[in-house]
Amino acid sequence: MNTFGLHTFAIAPVWDLARIEPQMDRLKEHGIGLMEIPLLRPEEIDTKRTRGFASHYGVQLMPSLGLPRALDVVERPEEALDFLQPAFKVCNEVGAEALGGVTYGTIGKTTGRAPTQREIDGMCRFLERAAKSAKSRSLKLGIEPCNRYETHLINRGIDAARIIERVGADNIFIHLDTYHMHIEEESFASGFEAAAPFLGYVHVSEANRGVPGRGMLNWAACMKAIADIGYEGAITLESMNHVDVDIAGGLAVWRPVAEDPRDVIEVGLPFLREEARKAGLTLG
C-alpha cells in the first residue's frame, strides 16, 4: 500500500490549519494519510499545533520548499545552508522524517542554457553539505527534478540519480513530479525506472496542474510505471488550486487551474485511487 497524500495548495496557499482542519474528516474518507506542508516561510509554522493536528488525524507530514530567488547555492552556499536550518527545525518539531522539493536551486530561475560544469560542481558541493546537515537532525533530503522552464539544473529522473550518485550521501532521495515528467521524460516508464534506486516521494499532478483526469496526462502509463518499479512510498496529489504569491511567479500560475476548486479533491482523489487500482496499486 502507498500512503495517499495531499499538498496544502489544494486547500490553501499556505499551511493554514483554520482552513485545513474543517476538511480533514472528508479527506480521511478519501483515504488521505499524509499532508504536505510548503515551507515558504518556515517561521510562520505553528509546529506544536501542527504536530497535534497530525497526531489527532493520524496523518504523516511532509514539509517541502523551493529555495528563494535571492539565494544562489553555487556563488553563496552559506546563505542557502542558513535558509535550510529553520526548515530542518520545523521538520523535527512536527515529527517529519524528510524535507522535499527544490532544495538544490530556485523555482523559476534559469540561465536559459544547460548547466555548466561549475554549476554542477557547486550544486553537488552544496547538496553534500545540506545532506550532512539534514542527517545531523536525522532527516532525509529530497531533490525534485523540475521542467526546463523552472530550472536548468535538474530536469529528469536520470539527472537526479546522477547527482545523488556523485554526492554519495545516503540520505538524499529523488522526489518525482508527474507534471514535470510529462514535459521532460521520454516516457513515465523510463523516468520512474531511472529514478527507482533513489525514489522516495512522488507528486501526482495533472498536465495543467488542475483536476486529475481532466488534462492530457496519461494516468494509466503513469500508475503502471510506478507499480512496475515496486515503489512503496507516498503518492501525493499536488494541484495549484491556491498558491502563495511568493512562489506563484516561479510556477507561472496566474489563472485558476480548476473551474470549481472543489473538484480537485472530490473528483481528483477518487480518480487517482481508481487509476492506481487498475495498475495494481492501493492508495491509502
CB 201 within 8 A of CB 36: no
Q: Which of 61, 164, 147 is CA-nearest to residue 108?
A: 147
Sequence letter at residue 36: E
Query: What b/e string do you get for 102-121 counting C-beta neighbours within 10 Å, with b at 16 or more?
Result: bbbbbbbbeeeeebeeebbe
pLDDT at 246: 55
Residue, of 257 and 21, whose pLDDT is higher = 21
pLDDT at 258: 56
User: How far is residue 137's CA from residue 45's CA, in Å, rounded to a whole number?
Assistant: 18
So what's the architecture of 4-278 in CATH?
A: Alpha-Beta Barrel (3.20)
Residue whose entry in the numeric block shows the C-alpha cell 545532506: 131
The per-residue pLDDT for range 164-182, each reduced to its tens digit, is 999 999 999 999 999 999 9
This prediction has a pTM of: 0.94
| Segment (H or E) for 64 | strand 60-66
CB 231 within 8 A of CB 196: yes
pLDDT at 243: 56
How many residues does this entry show for the chain?
284
Grid cell at residue 66: 523551493
Sequence letter at residue 97: E
Supply angle C-alpha 63, 60, 95, rounded to 5. Answer: 65
Q: pLDDT at residue 89 above 60?
A: yes
Grid cell at residue 234: 507516498
The per-residue pLDDT for range 231-270, each reduced to its tens digit, is 999 999 998 765 555 544 555 554 555 567 789 999 999 9
Mean pLDDT confidence for 205-226: 96
CB 130 within 8 A of CB 101: no
| Segment (H or E) for 5 | strand 4-7
The per-residue pLDDT for range 103-134, each reduced to its tens digit, is 999 888 899 999 999 999 999 999 999 999 99
Least confident of 52-56, 171-175, 200-204, 237-241: 237-241
Q: How many CB atoms lie within 10 A of CB 43?
A: 9
Residue, of 84 and 256, whose pLDDT is higher = 84
Q: How many CA within 13 A on the CB side of residue 77? A: 13
